[in-house]
A and B are shown apart, each in its own frame.
Chain A
């Protein structure tokens, strides 16, 4: 391997290590978790996780119909009228590590701690 190749290899190893560390060490379990639904980049609705139980219907301006299911500490997309249904296939989220995203309907569902949730809604 020449010098350029070694540099590229080192950068790749570093990037993978950093990502791995980010995933493993990331702050995920928020106190007082809130589930926040965004449509088109705007907050559509937000609830305390312990205040809702069951289906939250989401209707977007461009005709998207999603049904979000919230129960105890878990959240998943129950159904969606988008073509790929990736949001439904993604399954359950329990913490703030990754959001559920429905790209065609421009719906984002994420879980956040109460403090950071307030920042995001401003």
Chain B
């Protein structure tokens, strides 16, 4: 595809992607929740994570994701949720990494719902650990379906983005 980018060019590129992810994240946070089950959201910033994973690889995706989660908590002024974002994000990243080995660039849309499900699973696991109760897993079926739906949406966004970006220099 494109020659690997490195050095200053790469730092700038990743910083730009982090800024995009953070912006999407902050804008989405302003949308009132439609569903009453806690933890259900579109997760639009995932578009960036998926795209970076399939385009630049696991390490760069981890950098962009970690920076976005940390800065997202800073800008939202709410650190009480960072544990959940980090738990969900880490598990989603692991799964996305595995998916990027199995699936090709034309199939990144399919990787997103899987990572979405595991993101929600990770959040539930953190919640269960923090609350010292397994009662929270009652949300699992809802969060699983929500993770697939939201993941498919962001996955297709990433796919369309990827297909179009291939036509211009990236």
Tell me the bound Cα distance from A76 to B145 in angstroms. Answer: 24
Determine if A19 and B145 form an interchain contact, defined as CB atoms under 8 angstroms apart: yes
Question: Among A16, A103, A104, which residue has its beta carbon within 8 angstroms of that of B145?
Answer: A16
Find chain B residues with CB under 8 A from A9 CB: 110
Determine if B131 and A99 form an interchain contact, defined as CB atoms under 8 angstroms apart: no
Determine if A19 and B130 form an interchain contact, defined as CB atoms under 8 angstroms apart: no
Determine if B141 and A110 form an interchain contact, defined as CB atoms under 8 angstroms apart: no
Question: Among A1, A16, A103, A108, which residue has its beta carbon within 8 angstroms of that of B144?
Answer: A16
Interface size class of A (residues with CB under 8 A): 35 or more
* A63 lies within 8 A of chain B by Cβ: no
Contacting residues of chain A (57-80) with chain B, CB-CB under 8 angstroms: none
Find chain A residues with CB under 8 A from B141 CB: 18-20, 22-23
Main secondary structure of the interface of A (DSSP, over half): mixed
Report if A110-B135 is in contact (Cβ < 8 Å); known contacts: A5-B110, A23-B141, A101-B127.
Answer: yes
Interface size class of B (residues with CB under 8 A): 20 to 34
Question: Among B33, B127, B140, B142, which residue has its beta carbon within 8 angstroms of that of A103?
Answer: B127
* A118 lies within 8 A of chain B by Cβ: no
Determine if B80 and A98 form an interchain contact, defined as CB atoms under 8 angstroms apart: no
Report if A108-B133 is in contact (Cβ < 8 Å); known contacts: A8-B102, A83-B78, A97-B138.
Answer: yes
Find chain A residues with CB under 8 A from B37 CB: 90, 98
Cβ proximity bits B33-71 to A, threshold 8 Å, 1 near / 0 not: 100111000000000000000000000000000000000
* A15 lies within 8 A of chain B by Cβ: yes
Question: Among A4, A40, A103, A110, which residue has its beta carbon within 8 angstroms of that of B38?
Answer: A103
The 5 closest A-B pairs by CB, nearest first: A41-B132, A19-B141, A4-B102, A22-B141, A19-B144
Q: Can you report 11 A-B residue pairs in the complex whose CB atoms are below 8 A from each other?
A: A2-B107, A4-B102, A5-B110, A8-B99, A19-B142, A83-B78, A83-B80, A98-B138, A99-B135, A101-B136, A103-B127
Measured CB to CB, the residues of A under 8 A from B are: 1-2, 4-5, 8-9, 11-12, 15-16, 18-20, 22-23, 38, 40-41, 83-84, 86-87, 89-91, 96-99, 101, 103-104, 106, 108, 110
- Seed contacts A11-B114, A84-B81, A90-B37; 20 additional CB < 8 Å A-B pairs: A5-B103, A8-B110, A12-B113, A12-B114, A16-B145, A19-B141, A22-B141, A40-B132, A84-B80, A86-B38, A89-B33, A89-B36, A90-B36, A98-B138, A101-B131, A101-B136, A103-B127, A104-B80, A108-B131, A110-B135
